[in-house]
Amino acid sequence: MKALVFALCVVFAFSGVRAQTAAWQPSAGHTQVAIWPGAAPDAQAVAGPEAAETSGKDFLVAGRPAVGVSNVTRPTMTVYSPEGKNTGAAVVVFPGGGYQVLAIDLEGTEVCDWLTPRGITCVLLKYRVTDVGPYPKSGPYPESPMALEDAQRTVGLVRSHAAEWHIDPHKIGVLGFSAGGHLSAAISTHFEKRLYPAVDAADKESCRPDFAVAIYPGHLSLSAAEWDAKQGVKKFAVPHPANADEELGLNPEIPVTSQTPPTFLLQAEDDHVDDVNDSLAYYIALKKAGVPVEMHLYAHGGHAFGLRRTELPITGWPQLVETWLGAIGMIPQ
């Protein structure tokens, strides 16, 4: 039985698996393109071949299953271009899955189905993840550099293809869920230098997003006590701020500055996978740095609801993002 992990070492297991394929393929009319011309940097062995698996009855969102992709070693991007109107804006989408799998439809293709009719180019990134197995699993930067390398590379590629894809190079953002929400924050704060040697001209383009959306993000808060405990396991690059609140502190590996792009945050207070403190800590840091930020917290919603509408008000969040994108000048109001 495979497992689809949606954040921070919390796993919900598939049961009653209905379908499995050797590798995920996008819908007809769309083509995956490898983001690296050769071998990806920092490649590592995985437990098996890439596999796409559909959840069973034990995991349904709005009454429907989800598809998880595991053991991704060949990262790809799939471009979904708008038909009709084109605002010039583009969004690189990072599905969640605890950096072990990717919720490729719930937090990937369904995002593109929402954005493209609104004139926004959507670029779905299938970044590298490894499932639990005999090999080291992937994780957030700096524990593992792979996902952030893939994200940096993809934003540069999108910017380098801006004219060809009818994109405004100053309106390229990122949107991620759970671990993908953390990845949105990571690339928002790690864009001045690539983690890998330049491959081609695309790596000379800026990989700074012009805006970022993080939906129920994880890995963003860390108390001083938690940081000290992690230091005992592995030496991290950034010391925890001496004045950090013992109960609520930003993960020091997310170094917010005034150059961090405008950010939208959304989370439920009853999210038992990624604590609401993740959004709160990041929000406070962004405000202190003078970065435009909008945050929405809801009492109920849990985790991993994607864009699927239910009776819960939090699932109306896509309209909030559209309004925000208009307010910051990325799309017409």
pLDDT tens-digit series, residues 288-297: 999 999 999 9
Give 276-286 pLDDT, tens digit per residue: 999 999 999 99
Q: Is the pLDDT of residue 252 over 50?
A: yes
How far does the chain reach from its first CA to its final CA, in angstroms? 47
Q: What is the domain-level CATH number for residue 27?
A: 3.40.50.1820
Of 7-11, 185-189, 234-238, the least confident: 7-11
Supply the pLDDT for residue 22. Answer: 77
Supply the pLDDT for residue 32. Answer: 96
Give 225-248 pLDDT, tens digit per residue: 666 666 554 444 444 454 444 466
Domain holding 125, by residue range, is: 3-327
CA-closest candidate to residue 50, choices 106, 108, 107, 126: 126
Classify residue 136: in a domain, yes or no. Answer: yes
Q: Is the pLDDT of residue 135 over 80?
A: no
Mean pLDDT over residues 311-332, rounded? Answer: 98
Mean pLDDT over residues 163-187, rounded? Answer: 98
Provide the β-strand partners of residue 269: none
Mean pLDDT over residues 48-57, rounded? Answer: 92
Average pLDDT, the chain: 89
Supply the pLDDT for residue 228. Answer: 67
Mean pLDDT over residues 79-86, rounded? Answer: 95
Mean pLDDT over residues 48-76, rounded? Answer: 93
Classify residue 154: in a domain, yes or no. Answer: yes
Residue 115 CA, distance from chain mean position: 16
Distance CA 330, CA 115 (A): 13
Higher-confidence position of 234 and 142? 142
Q: Is the pLDDT of residue 66 over 90?
A: yes
Classify residue 333: in a domain, yes or no. Answer: no
The secondary structure of residue 99, as a DSSP letter, is T
Classify residue 332: in a domain, yes or no. Answer: no
Q: Is the pLDDT of residue 9 over 50?
A: no
Classify residue 215: in a domain, yes or no. Answer: yes
Q: Is the pLDDT of residue 162 over 60?
A: yes
Supply the pLDDT for residue 239. Answer: 47
Distance CA 50, CA 305 (A): 24
- Structural domains of the chain, count: 1
Supply the pLDDT for residue 44. Answer: 87
Classify residue 50: in a domain, yes or no. Answer: yes
Classify residue 201: in a domain, yes or no. Answer: yes
Supply the pLDDT for residue 83. Answer: 87
The secondary structure of residue 104, as a DSSP letter, is T
The alpha helices in 25-66, defined as continuous H runs, are none
Q: Is the pLDDT of residue 10 over 60?
A: no
Q: Parallel, antiparallel, or unpaired for β 263-268 and 293-298?
A: parallel
Supply the pLDDT for residue 150. Answer: 98
179, containing H or E segment: helix 179-189
pLDDT above 70 as % of the chain:
85
Task: Give me the residue label for tokens 């493209």.
Answer: 116
Classify residue 213: in a domain, yes or no. Answer: yes
Q: Parallel, antiparallel, or unpaired for β 3-7 and 20-21?
A: unpaired
Q: Is the pLDDT of residue 2 over 80?
A: no
Supply the pLDDT for residue 12. Answer: 35
Q: Is the pLDDT of residue 18 over 60?
A: no
